[in-house]
Chains A and B, each alone.
Chain A
Amino acid sequence: MSAQTLSLAKAINLGLRQALIDNDKVLLMGEDIGPLGGVFRVTEGLQAEFGEKRVLDTPLAESGIIGTAIGMAMRGYRPVIEIQFDGFIFPGFDQITSQLAKLTARHEGSLSMPVVIRVPYGGHIGAVEHHQESPEAYFAHTAGLRVVTPSTPHDGYWMIQEAIASNDPVMFFEPKSRYWPKGEVEMDASGSDLHTSRVVRTGTDATLLGYGPMVNVLLRAAEIAAAEGRSLEVIDLRSLSPIDYDPIVASVQKTGRLVIAQEAPGFVSVGSEIAATITERAFYSLEAPVMRVAGFDTPFPPAKLEVTYLPDADRVLEAVDRAMAF
């Protein structure tokens, strides 16, 4: 049983289960995570196995969930919260940014805040307003938080356990569009640390960088480009805060070109930050400006427009063409 073929949703489910087994201070909290197993079924079966004291169906109040989780962490527990959808995190934003993120500093280190907040995020599910957003930049901007996002079932299984083991608060963004495709999960070892980025396809002409739901899009773009004789390297960022820059810098030093892709709006975003830093750290290696491919700077549109709003392989390759034209 060293490897299993699992969906991301099931892999995270098994990762949560393992964390509940490993440490009896680990608790799950959220809306509809008990008998229903969450609206995406990520917690399916866990309340039945571990009981209502370990897997809490809470009242419908995000600030209440996060604020009480903070109190439980003060008591020595390790709460893992499920926010139902990306757009529903904002009622809890104050408790996350003003309290959770700052309490360790406010206590001058005598208190740690091992709280994980799981957030299903991103588009491609055809849902109504507030159900397809990518709010990760707000949290990456906030000191005191760690922000990660898996793109594969293997990373889902391991990164959730590593996030729960962290003594710092971790925002754990789960790409909804990747919940159901299956992939190999190595059950014996993760192969990397939580805050590392990873080259997932090697190439020589340009580097594509993305995270979460975009990684699969980038791999598809690289396939298409390869058929046209262009060799693209793909990096899965995995950690949005802190960012593991060394593999990105090494890749850009090799390829000379960087295209960053994300579903989130581009203005003041994770992609903006990386573009600025790579310009500082790899200026003389760059053959072209760092290109960004992002959601538009509009509210997420009604679902019938989402395929236009969300970056796809064609938009990525258009940016590659512009980079190569320099």
Chain B
Amino acid sequence: MSAAAENAPGEAKVIPIESAPSWNEPDGPTLPDRLAGAVGGALSGQLGPAATKLFGKGWEGRATERLAFLRRRLTGDYEVDEFGFDRELTEEVLLSLLRPLAEKYFRIDVQGVENIPAEGGALIVANHSGTLPLDALMTQVVIHDHHPHRRHLRMLAADLVFVLPGVNELARKAGHTLACNEDAQALLERGEIVGVWPEGFKGIGKPFAERYKLQRFGRGGFVSSALRAKVPIVPCSIVGAEETYPMIGNVKTLARLLGLPYVPITPTFPWLGPLGVLPLPTKWTIRFGEPIATDGYPAEAADDPMLVFDLADEVRETIQRTLYELLVQRRSVFF
């Protein structure tokens, strides 16, 4: 019996020996084992050179990396932070999915990324527009891709995001959290870059006729958070997002029925059905302005409403002025 086993080496013999004794589950070669054997056989035969030709040199290395990634994902061997931020998933999957949109579709011109500190907390305050929060997602992509330290933007999102199934899961994994003082404070104190769009739904859901006119900046809560954490405020101006979904109407009744802040009508939506969800391929510019320091103020400054409103106005004015500047320089909406 043992001689027979020695004399007949072959996968049919060897694989069951590998897998049978240690598992208390069905015996015999399992699907993954068989798959591995088949792939291995094919690659060492004819397919190896063909694959090199097809995928280019070094494809084995890349494939090994992908497999290592797959292994970590399948076995749950990765970390998320307290806010649910899944760094690996964001870097490997989510940003990769958004990157073509930023680079190829909107061809974003990024200016002043050096105004974002290399380390430590900072609060990025930007204008909001375009019906869907594409501008926020694009800002996250460009900060990660253009900043020399590849920093991640932690966004403060509206509570609607965390009520919607699916959306909330992705938002948390991408590092976003609820726009409230506690979360903003906690993230800034941990030295993260936090992004806030203080206009909220008033900004993103404004009619096309009011494009590039900044709405009210909430209650200035973001200024208090920055003052408490003593982090700089970086004003950020985004041009191009307004024209992605020009909102020419709003079905208010339906919005109320669905519990949404607005249901937009654009030149393409809902007329073209699913095609109407495609944003217009506008040319974008994102400019990060000079940081506004907040560490010179006393500790109680965060509770001084006058100072908070003054600073909020200063940030708002800076963004509005930069927007006009960028609009004057812009050659066309699409190029």
Answer whether A and B are interacting partners: no
